[in-house]
Amino acid sequence: MNLDIEIRPDVPEPERAAFAELDAERLRGLVELAFRRLHVDPETELSLAAVDAAEMAELHVRWMDLPGPTDVMSFPMDEMRPGTPERLSEGTLGDIVLCPAVAAEQARAAGHSTSDELCLLTVHGVLHCLGYDHGTAEEEREMFGIQRRILEEFLGRPAPVETRH
């Protein structure tokens, strides 16, 4: 798999605990499973970055014109869609940016670990890069259903509760 994971080294002190929960190898395994389940060629390119709240807030304003940091942002590249068992989807999936500090807050509120929240957000980002959305109730059911099935298979237990905002 062609997955680049970047974790910024200069994390502010209040956010270091959240970054400590980010396990790059765990996320790599999760993305590999998601690619298999969604029939994405294992050579597909994906970049995953973890940034502090200040950098995420800048990205959120620049790309979404919304204030403050958010949990995850996805930047699709080749407008890929899930493939089929007979024909894998291939190309450059895009970039996913995670904010562990926001993930930690959401995890506390939902009653699960920051690590589980980062897994949830990673799958969520992959699905967005593959064209899924949750703007309508029907889209949300489809996207969150796929997300839940992938997470439950990966975790071997019920998936963490999704944050809706």
> What is the pLDDT tens value at each position of the chain, 165 positions in all?
677 888 776 788 888 888 888 899 999 999 999 999 999 999 999 999 999 999 999 999 999 999 999 999 999 999 999 999 999 999 999 999 999 999 999 999 999 999 999 999 999 999 999 999 999 999 999 999 999 999 999 999 999 998 766
CA angle, corner 46, sides to 41 and 48, nearest 5?
145
pLDDT at 143 (0 to 100): 97
What is the Cα–Cα distance from 119 to 104, expressed in whole angstroms? 12
Q: In terms of CATH, what superfamily is 2-155?
A: Metalloproteases ("zincins"), catalytic domain (3.40.390.30)
